[in-house]
Amino acid sequence: MKKRNILVGLILVLLFLVGCGGDRERVMVPPRADLQEAKRIAILPLENITSDPGLSIDVQRQLFQDLQGYYQIISDDEVNSALQRIGYRRGSIITLEDIQKLSYLLRVDAVIVGEIERYFEDVAGITPRISSTYMDKDVQKARWAGGQNTSVIIELSLRVMHGEKGWNLYSKRVRGHHESTSRESINWYSMDPPPASIIPQPNRRDVPDTRMRAMRQAVNSFTADLLPTYVWQRVD
């Protein structure tokens, strides 16, 4: 009876697998954002009102990386050359007239413009704690560890504009937030807490990586609706 039940179970599993089987193909789902068939896009300098002057360049490069596989993104050299031709000075506001002139010179369907609205970083020390204990000549001792928490927040407001008409094709305000924790051993082995003089002080060593991850998160949130997705569908 037991063998019969096992056999029936195996048959049911095989029937399930056959029903779920068949050829499948990977199908592209178009982007959610309607850019009116724009394929050739230029990323223009972003207005940066934060305390991090290099953030605008980093955001532009991340936008280029995210979008270049699906769109034809104009190189920085071509964009900068066109900016010089229209007399644009970096740091000034790009007008609708500038967008139309640049679109004509670069022969693009759309441009990406926007602002970097907020950059915030915080580094806070972690209260030292005992990580483990051990016995040394019948005396209990401890291994202590300190460390720090690093947090970065980046907020962007980005838009895709029609090159010729200047219409707003897609816009979104996005936020990237990343936190990281690093720990460090303390040269102290007493069961009593270590003195403040040997506790590691917070520093900015983890800021660059944390900043990069927050920036990528913000840009990815913007580009997600501009890119296709892929699903597997069964072929009948």
Are 155 and 218 a contacting pair, CB within 8 Å? yes
The HSE-up count of residue 213 (CA atoms within 13 Å, CB side) is 13
- Give the pLDDT score at 16: 52
CB 67 within 8 A of CB 31: no
Q: Where are the beta strands (DSSP E) in 3-109?
A: 24-29, 40-43, 47-48, 72-73
Please give the Cα distance from 103 to 110 (Å, whole number).
7
Domain boundaries defined on the chain? 39-228
Q: What is the pLDDT of residues 83-112, one digit of tens each?
A: 999 999 887 889 999 999 999 999 999 999
Pairing status of strand 40-43 against strand 72-73: parallel
CB-neighbour burial class of residue 111 (10 A; exposed 0-12, middle 13-18, buried 19+): buried
- The pLDDT of residue 80: 95
pTM comes to 0.83
**Rg for the chain (alpha carbons), in Å?**
28
Q: Does pLDDT of 19 surpass 70? A: no
User: What number of other Cβ atoms are within 10 A of residue 225's Cβ?
Assistant: 14
Q: Which has the higher per-residue pLDDT, 15 or 99?
A: 99
Stretch among 6-15, 33-42, 137-146, 186-195 having the lowest mean pLDDT: 6-15
Instruction: Identify residue 145 by its one-letter amino acid code.
Output: A
E strands, 21-167, are: 24-29, 40-43, 47-48, 72-73, 110-136, 139-162
pLDDT digits (tens, 9 = 90+) for 124-149: 999 999 999 999 999 999 999 999 99
Residue 11 has pLDDT above 90, yes or no: no
Query: What is the per-residue pLDDT for 21?
Result: 54
pLDDT digits (tens, 9 = 90+) for 161-213: 999 999 999 999 999 999 999 999 999 999 999 999 999 999 999 999 999 99
Sequence length of the chain is 236
- Over residues 75-79, the mean pLDDT reads 96
For domain 39-228, the CATH superfamily is ABC-type transport auxiliary lipoprotein component (3.40.50.10610)
* Mean confidence (pLDDT) of the chain: 91
Q: With b meaning 16 or more CB within 10 Å and e meaning fewer, what string describes 132-156? A: eeeeeeeeeebebbbbbbbbbbbbb
Phi/psi of residue 132, nearest 5 degrees: -165, 165
